[in-house]
Amino acid sequence: MRQVRALGRCVLRSWLALAAWTSGACVVLAVLLLPLGLGLAILPGTAAWLRSLTDRARRWAAPVAEPEPLNPDRTASRRSQAGAIIGAESFWRDLLWANLEPGIGGLLVAVPQCLVAYGLFGTLVQPLIWRRVDDGNWYAFIPVTSTPAMLTAAALGLAFIAAGLWATAPVLRLHARWTRLLLAAPRSTALTRRVEHLTGTRADAIDAQAAELGRIERDLHDGAQARLIALGMTLDHATRLLDTDLDTARALLLDVRETSSRALADLRDLVHGIHPPVLADRGLTDALRSLALDSFLDVDVTAEPIGRLPAPVESAAYFAVSEALANATKHSGARTVAIAVTHDGHRLHITVTDDGRGGATIDGGTGLSGVVRRLGTFDGTLALHSPPGGPTTVTMEIPCASSSPKTSSS
């Protein structure tokens, strides 16, 4: 069945090669007509058509590094649009593909199709016609003039079909390599894009860190620090009263104990907000279980034993889930939430699904845009699927290695 599907893919690639040939011819025509001015009118359209075909070829041969969009400014004058297209390295790459693909790629994917077609002819058609056709009825190297010869031909046909089906997988692999060779954006394009991405995420990370430090400074200033000052003042007052008014002094000292315990509580909350202790102790899975126990909803955590991940990843993942859970609690009207954690050796994968009313958006003041930026620092992604009426699923992926064999204890 898998091979039959692969054969279907070969057929689709043949059609694509045909379309490529047609489209390539139109583009060549457009380029040749440029001096007459007519080319200016048809070049953007035909080039976009060709690009849609190469995009499809790239999708089929994925992963292939994608080039820049061909003609980003559709409102510019025709002359400048055509100039942008002619000046784009990727346009000439597309054109080269359109000219070579019908010959080389098309021939390649034709091999299994021909084998299967000829095999079908041998097994299904020969038994019906060999009696009616006289001399010269050959199937491959067999003169089909008798029943045994016909049966041999049918068997040979089956062998051809099998060979054709078997050939689909290697042919498709080869075809994908050929497509990548022709259509992958050059390394410089990929690197340029990577640099842009890294510059953006680095700025995000620096901003986030500065905001975090500011928050910690404010919390310390308004919380523990202020309480410690009050504590010092009360102690001073109590000391002065020790000789004269023992009862008031005792009351003040009890007050001091109360204040010190509140200062401790402030510090505890602050530490929890920076890096939850259970995350440091036990790693992501148990930290999420702890989060689930604190939640007002019914939260179910299922996790593979993922071991310990790099600390920044654990932290980012924890706060991302925490944010998703907070959204489910505040906005969705959900009753139950399921958190699933898996790691495939290269990527941490987390889904948070609630049974609420849905309709959530990343930009809708949910705090998820901050999470997207934070995950971006790790090349991580966040996808939100929240149709009206629910359910809402937040999917997060962070590339990272699982660093230690220490499994989560339960």
Partner 1 sequence: MRVVLAEDLFLLRDGLVRTLREHGCEVTPVDNGPALHRALIGDPPDIAVVDVRLPPTFTDEGLQAALAARRAHPGLPVLVLSQYVDQLYAQELLGGGEGAIGYLLKDRVTDTAQFIDAVRRVAAGATVMDPHVIAKLLARGDARGTIGALTPRERDVLELMAEGRSNAAIAATLHVSESAVAKHTAGIFTKLGIGVSDDDNRRVLAVLAYLRR
DSSP 122-158: IIIIHHHHTTTS-TT-EETTEE--SHHHHHHHHHHHH
Among 8, 277, 333, 399, binds partner 1 (CB under 8 A): 277
Among 55, 204, 255, 286, binds partner 1 (CB under 8 A): 286
Q: Is 300 in the site for partner 1 (CB under 8 A)?
A: no
CA distances from 337 to 297, 318, 328, 360 (A): 7, 15, 8, 15
Which ranges of 275-409 does DSSP label H, i.e. alpha helix? 277-282, 284-294, 311-327, 368-376
Q: Is 405 in the site for partner 1 (CB under 8 A)?
A: no
Among 22, 99, 225, 260, binds partner 1 (CB under 8 A): 260
Among 259, 290, 322, 377, binds partner 1 (CB under 8 A): 290
Among 271, 274, 311, 383, binds partner 1 (CB under 8 A): 271
Q: How many residues make contact with partner 1 (CB under 8 A)?
A: 21
Q: How far is the CB of 239 from partner 1 (least distance, A)?
A: 19
Among 253, 278, 326, 340, binds partner 1 (CB under 8 A): 278
Contact segment (CB under 8 A) with partner 1 among 38-46, 64-72, 228-236, 272-280 equals: 272-280
- Write out the H or E segment, with its range, that includes residue 98: helix 89-100
Closer of 141 and 296 to partner 1 (Cβ): 296
Contact of 163 with 140, CB cutoff 8 Å? no
Q: Which two tokens stand for residue 356?
A: 């609420």
Closer of 207 and 281 to partner 1 (Cβ): 281
Q: Is 294 in the site for partner 1 (CB under 8 A)?
A: yes
Q: Is 264 in the site for partner 1 (CB under 8 A)?
A: yes
What is the b/e burial string over 61-83, where b = at least 16 CB atoms within 10 angstroms of the residue's CB? beebebbeebbeeeeeeeeebbe
Among 265, 274, 383, 401, binds partner 1 (CB under 8 A): 265
Find the helix packing angle between 311-327 and 284-294, rounded to 10°.
20
